Amino acid sequence: MKQRLRAGIAVYNEGDYHAAHDAWEDTWLDLPDGSDDERLLHGLIQFTAAVHHARSRNWSGATGLATSAVEYLEPLPADHRGVNVGAVRRYLRALAADPETIERARPLALSHRGAMLQVADLDVPERGVAARVLAEEYGYDESVVADAARYAREEATGEGEGRSGSRRFIALVTDFATEADRRGLVYQRLEGLVERRRSKESDVEGLF
């Protein structure tokens, strides 16, 4: 859960308010209804949706989701799982009362154990989660980005092809997740590298 929690926080803090929920949704759906962690992720998903609707000037959607999110988060400690839950609740109440506050100031940043995470702060597996979330949000081939994230993990741990010491996949997965203006160009390079790696893997499998 920690990987996905941190990845979603970082994606949200980078300004991809709508995309962030995809980092949490699968984990949330697998949790027991009413558990503290289920409440946390459910509340954060609705929080990001409320922010997204407010930025789109869908005031009724924003206020309804903000009110609902507070209800999910209300029973939790103010720092559950290291997240600034108390600050989120206060912000949601303010948003429910006056959704146009979104036009006067940036939305509240999420923090984990006191750090306002950005994607560059994440470890390599967490960056892979962030990259896959953004691939889904912006219509890139998720299988390419998922394989790139796997190869990046191999580079980080020195497993498989990663034993060569190359960090090309780590660099490109990070750039894909952080450089919105260059994301299309980075994806093209990533796609080419992934296809070459897949081809090598296929050649090796054909030997046995």
Per-residue pLDDT reduced to its tens digit, 52-82: 999 999 999 999 999 999 999 999 999 999 9
Average pLDDT over residues 143-165: 83
Judge if 93 and 139 occupy the same domain.
Answer: no
pLDDT band at 158 (very low <50, low <70, confident <90, very high): confident
Domain end among 96, 119, 142: 119
- pLDDT given for residue 157 in this prediction: 87
CATH number at residue 74: 1.10.3450.10
The reply to whether 89 and 115 lie within a common domain is yes
pLDDT over 70, % of the chain: 94
Residue tagged 């948003």 (tokens): 95
Over range 187-200, report the average pLDDT. Answer: 93
Please tell me the total count of domains within the chain.
Answer: 2
CA dihedral 159, 165, 171, 177 (to 10 degrees): 10
**Helix ranges, the chain (H):** 2-13, 21-30, 36-55, 59-73, 85-97, 124-138, 142-157, 168-178, 183-205
Mean pLDDT of 170-181: 95
Please give the structure tokens belonging to residue 185: 């160009």
Question: Which is it for the CA torsion 136, 141, 143, 147, positive or negative?
Answer: negative
Residue 207 has pLDDT above 90, yes or no: no
On whether the CB atoms of residues 72 and 115 are closer than 8 A, the answer is: no
**Strand-pair partners of 115:** 112
**Predicted pLDDT at 164:** 56
* Domain C-terminal end among 59, 88, 119: 119
Range of the domain at 8: 2-119
Q: Is the pLDDT of residue 100 over 50?
A: yes
Q: Are 19 and 11 in contact (CB under 8 A)?
A: yes
> Of the candidates 119, 150, 179, which is a domain's last residue?
119
What's the mean per-residue pLDDT of the chain?
Answer: 92
- For residues 11 and 104, membership in a common domain is answered with yes
- In this structure, the answer to whether residues 52 and 85 fall within a common structural domain is yes
What pTM did the predictor assign? Answer: 0.90
User: What distance in Å separates the CA atoms of residue 130 and residue 9, rounded to the nearest whole number?
Assistant: 9
112, β-bridge pairs: 83, 115
- What tokens does 7 get? 């990845």
Q: HSE-up of 185 (CA within 13 Å, CB side)?
A: 6
Quote the pLDDT of residue 206. Answer: 52
CB atoms within 10 A of CB 168: 16
Distance CA 10, CA 14 (A): 6
Q: Answer yes or no: do 80 and 10 share one domain.
A: yes
Instruction: Using DSSP, state whether 19 is helix, strand or coil.
Output: coil
Residue 200 has a pLDDT of: 84
Q: How confident is the model at residue 165 (pLDDT cuts 50, 70, 90)?
A: low
Question: 175 and 193: one domain?
Answer: yes
